[in-house]
């Protein structure tokens, strides 16, 4: 029987380059074990540092094929898992119990689809194998409950008359100001009250071992947003914009606001990039073209993805079944999952928070 060269095996594994981090599996520190037995069976254990369920099958197949081409290898068994760590927050603000990473989803102005993006990003991260929660910090127009199909008037359970138990919706842990006040109560609050209420919701919710907590921020870049950005231990921010010049201008303000408080901007999501006609499928850039790319280039950040202006996205979200769960195999869901992997991969390049909670491991493919 041919003696299998360990070096040849490692060279075969190095042929695969991660599509998001553009490194091989050894450079990523993702190879946990690579062994060959006397019968020519090779076993490889891979652990990626970001939510990656959607690409695990492809990785497994590509690497197994490469290993089986090595002299003496009869069979290759590749296991792909993921391990999500806690990463550093701005100025080392103490982390929130039960939460590893907080991602703020923000926009410089309203009406650009920020909440829709926040909900679908949270669901996409979950679909990619992460434990995810969402907090609706948009005090004046909380919409996350409706988008997740939480019945109107439903209230979260409490513990010790002090803590909220997050609502479960489509596998997400969720909390929102809308769950604790009625929609008949107008939010006539000054800035400090708003940021105080958000901090209370954040810290008094019993989040259960989350890899990521998505915070749907209030639109704009005023005092409320700045105060929240300074007080909430945010690991990274995602800016939502449309290709329209005025929205891009506001999107730039959003990036500058987060940079001012040392929060890394993970990238830009361009919403409503093209209109797709529901009758004929014709695509037309109603709000302009290439704006997201320009802003990402100007601020040396990433264009995470572009999403079409399509009636079904709005209809599905309004009905409490966002696109990622309503049509998991659709082009829109595929784009959101690609954005989720990109966000997780970008975050995995940051410095780790060694005081954070223990990393979770989930094996996704055998």
Examine the fold and report which residue of 84, 101, 116 is the final residue of a domain before the chain moves on. 84
Residues 94 and 159 in one domain: yes
CA distance to 256, 310, 311, per residue, from 278 (Å): 37, 8, 7
Position 123 confidence tier, pLDDT thresholds 50, 70, 90? very high
Residues 15 and 133 in one domain: no
Residue 362 counted as domain residue:
no
- 25-53 average pLDDT score: 94
Over residues 41-100, the pLDDT tens digits come to 999 999 999 999 999 999 999 999 999 998 888 999 999 999 999 998 877 688 899 999
Supply the pLDDT for residue 257: 86
Residue 320 counted as domain residue:
yes
35 Cβ contact partners less than 8 Å away, ≥ 6 residues apart: 42, 43
Supply the pLDDT for residue 198: 85
Supply the pLDDT for residue 358: 44
Q: If we measure between CA atoms, which residue out of 196, 197, 237 comes closest to residue 89?
A: 237
Q: Domains in the chain: how many in total?
A: 2
Is 72 one of the annotated binding-site residues?
Answer: no
| Calpha distance 268→297 (Å, rounded) | 10
Residues 188 and 68 in one domain: no
Q: Can you give the CATH number for the domain in which 117 is found?
A: 3.40.50.300
pTM of the model: 0.88
Residues 80 and 124 in one domain: no
- Answer whether residue 128 shows pLDDT above 80: yes
Is 23 one of the annotated binding-site residues?
Answer: no
Q: Can you give the CATH number for the domain in which 35 is found?
A: 3.30.300.130
Residues 51 and 110 in one domain: no
**What are the backbone angles phi and psi of residue 283, rounded to the nearest 5°?**
-105, 135
Position 266 confidence tier, pLDDT thresholds 50, 70, 90? very high
Residues 13 and 138 in one domain: no
Q: If we measure between CA atoms, which residue out of 311, 300, 302 comes closest to residue 342?
A: 302
Examine the fold and report which residue of 56, 84, 112 is the final residue of a domain before the chain moves on. 84
Residues 194 and 295 in one domain: yes
Residues 66 and 32 in one domain: yes
Is 129 one of the annotated binding-site residues?
Answer: no
**What are the backbone angles phi and psi of residue 138, rounded to the nearest 5°?**
-80, 80
Over residues 332-362, the pLDDT tens digits come to 889 999 999 999 999 999 888 776 544 444 4
Is 126 one of the annotated binding-site residues?
Answer: no
Domain extent for 251: 90-357
Examine the fold and report which residue of 29, 54, 84 is the final residue of a domain before the chain moves on. 84
Residue 1 counted as domain residue:
no
Supply the pLDDT for residue 228: 79
Is the pLDDT higher at 194 or at 189?
Answer: 194
Is 42 one of the annotated binding-site residues?
Answer: no
Residues 53 and 119 in one domain: no
Residues 174 and 56 in one domain: no
Is 111 one of the annotated binding-site residues?
Answer: yes
Residues 184 and 286 in one domain: yes
Is the pLDDT higher at 212 or at 139?
Answer: 212
Residue 365 counted as domain residue:
no
Residue 231 counted as domain residue:
yes
Average pLDDT, the chain: 82
Burial of 276 (0-12, 13-18, 19+ CB in 10 A): middle
Percentage of residues of the chain with pLDDT beyond 90:
41
Is 113 one of the annotated binding-site residues?
Answer: yes
Residue 67, both tokens: 């290993």
Is 344 one of the annotated binding-site residues?
Answer: no
Residue 151 counted as domain residue:
yes
- Answer whether residue 109 shows pLDDT above 60: no
Supply the pLDDT for residue 363: 46
Residues 228 and 284 in one domain: yes
CB atoms within 10 A of CB 69: 12
């Amino acid at each position: 029987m041919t003696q299998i060269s360990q070096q040849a095996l490692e060279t075969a594994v190095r042929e695969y380059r991660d599509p998001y981090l553009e490194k091989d599996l050894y450079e990523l520190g993702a190879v946990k074990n690579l062994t060959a037995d006397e019968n020519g069976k090779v076993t490889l254990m891979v652990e990626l540092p970001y939510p990656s369920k959607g690409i695990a099958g492809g990785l497994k197949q590509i690497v197994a094929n490469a290993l089986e081409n090595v002299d003496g290898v009869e069979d290759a068994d590749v296991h792909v898992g993921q391990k999500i760590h806690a990463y550093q927050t701005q100025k080392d603000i103490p982390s929130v119990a039960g939460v590893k990473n907080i991602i703020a989803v923000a926009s410089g102005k309203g009406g650009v689809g920020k909440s829709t993006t926040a909900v679908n990003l949270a669901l996409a991260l979950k679909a990619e194998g992460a434990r995810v929660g969402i907090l609706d910090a948009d005090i004046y127009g909380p919409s996350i409950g409706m988008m997740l199909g939480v019945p109107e008037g439903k209230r979260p359970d409490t513990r010790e008359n002090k803590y909220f138990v997050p609502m479960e919706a489509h596998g997400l842990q969720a909390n929102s100001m809308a769950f604790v006040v009625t929609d008949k109560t107008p939010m006539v609050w000054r800035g400090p009250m708003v940021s105080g209420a958000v901090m209370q919701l954040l810290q008094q919710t019993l989040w259960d071992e989350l890899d990521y907590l998505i915070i749907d921020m209030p639109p704009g870049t005023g005092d409320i947003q700045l105060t929240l950005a300074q007080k909430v231990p945010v690991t990274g921010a995602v800016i939502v914009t449309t290709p329209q010049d005025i929205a891009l201008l506001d999107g730039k303000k959003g990036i500058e606001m987060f940079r001012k408080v040392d929060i890394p901007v993970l990238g830009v999501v361009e919403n409503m990039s093209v209109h797709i006609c529901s009758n004929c499928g014709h695509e037309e850039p109603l709000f302009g073209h290439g704006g997201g790319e320009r802003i990402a280039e100007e601020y040396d950040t990433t264009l995470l993805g572009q999403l079409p202006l399509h009636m079904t996205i709005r209809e599905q979200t309004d009905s409490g079944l966002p696109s990622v769960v309503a049509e998991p195999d659709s082009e829109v869901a595929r784009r959101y999952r690609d954005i989720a992997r990109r966000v997780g991969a970008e975050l995995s390049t940051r410095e780790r928070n060694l005081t954070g909670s223990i990393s979770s491991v989930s094996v996704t493919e055998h």
